[in-house]
Amino acid sequence: MKAARKPQAAQAARAALDAADISRVIEMAWEDRTSFDAIEQQFGLNEAAVIALMRRELKRSSFKMWRERVTGRATKHDALRSPEVTRHRASHTRQA
């Protein structure tokens, strides 16, 4: 079975991530209010690339827990979001 080719932009984005960026993507992926679209906009990683990164970087049990948590969660997709869900800023980030 031949593996599907990944878009070159997604491959380039993954290659350009340093340890701090990978850590931030993981943090954003765990946050309920941060959508996959926001991650893609900031880091160039689509949902499939985020899933692959999480699978590669997390322990197996942590990855399974994360997948169960985000599967079907409307807040992880901008198009499915309720209008009441607004942008969230974590308490440890710089407030502008």
Write down the pTM of the prediction.
Answer: 0.66
Could you tell me which residue, 85 or 61, shows the higher pLDDT?
61
Cβ proximity of 58 and 26 under 8 Å: yes
C-beta atoms surrounding 35 within 10 Å: 23
- Confidence tier at 15 by pLDDT (50, 70, 90): low
What does the alpha-carbon distance between residue 83 and residue 96 come to, in Å, rounded to a whole number? 23
Tokens for 32, please give them. 């309920």
* Position with higher pLDDT, 93 vs 19: 19
Count of C-beta atoms within a 10 Å radius of residue 39: 22
Q: Higher model confidence: residue 45 or residue 83?
A: 45
1 pLDDT more than 50: no
Dihedral pair phi/psi, residue 6, rounded to 5°:
-85, 145
| Cα–Cα distance, 56 to 78 (Å, whole number) | 25
